[in-house]
Structure 1
Amino acid sequence: MHLTDTRVAHEDDGWRIDFLGDDGEAVTVHVADGAYVDEEVAVERARAIMVQLTAFGTRGGGRSLNAYDAASNGNFDDDQPLLDTRH
């Protein structure tokens, strides 16, 4: 994704930062505790969160996981979820 725009919105429970790409792709990061964080700090915190997520999705000296590894980790057992995702 090639970043083309960053949109910032202050909400009741924090900040929503949308990173928009040139192909219509978007990544949204929610930064909590917006009452005492200004917009610039919220954007920097969102970028730091994205870096942390990138580090989480790497192994073997920084080689990125591909979609197969990230979704399955080689496990296609029907009785186990592909990802441990909470919403």
Structure 2
Amino acid sequence: MHLTDTKVGHDNTGWRIDFVGDDGDAVTVHVAAGGHLDEETAVERARAILVKLTAFGTRGGCRSLNAYDAASNGNFDDDQPLIGTHH
């Protein structure tokens, strides 16, 4: 996904930032209404949230999510092997 558009909305609960890709896929981040965030700061915070989530779900990040990749059978139990794992 290559980012082509960023749409920003605001209501009483906070900011809604939609990151839209060239393929039509989109990721929405809700930034809670804390303090007096302006639009630019809300977008920066949303990008920081995405970076944290990306690191969380990649190898070297969260142990539970590391096991869940294309070869995963969806089982997060440490004692169960992934599909195709031979011992």
TM-score w.r.t. length of structure 1? 0.70
Give the paired residue count.
72
CA distance in 1, matches of 2:26, 2:55: 19
Letter matched to residue 20 of structure 2: L
Structure 1, residues 10-36: CA drift from partner, whole Å, max 9, x if none? 111000000000111000000001561
1:21-60 alignment runs, 5 A limit: 21-33=21-33, 36-60=36-60
Deviation at 1:66, TM superposition (A): 3.1
- RMSD in angstroms over aligned alpha carbons? 2.7
**Equivalences for residues 73-84 of structure 1 within 5 A:** 75=75
Q: Specify the SS of the correspondent of 2:5.
A: strand
Normalising by structure 2, we get a TM-score of: 0.70
Query: For the residues of structure 1 that align with 2:42 and 2:71, how far apart are their CA atoms?
Result: 32
The one-letter code sitting in structure 1 at the alignment partner of 2:19 is F
In structure 2, distance between residues paired with 1:16 and 1:68 = 33
Given that residues 12 and 33 in structure 2 are in contact (C-alpha distance below 8 angstroms), is that contact kept between their aligned partners in structure 1? no
Instruction: Give the secondary-structure state (helix, strand or coil) at the position aligned to 1:36.
Output: coil
- The structure having more radius of gyration, on CA atoms, is 2
Counterpart in 1 of 2:20? 20
Greater helix content: 1
Name stretches of at least 5 consecutive residues in structure 2 with no aligned partner: 77-87
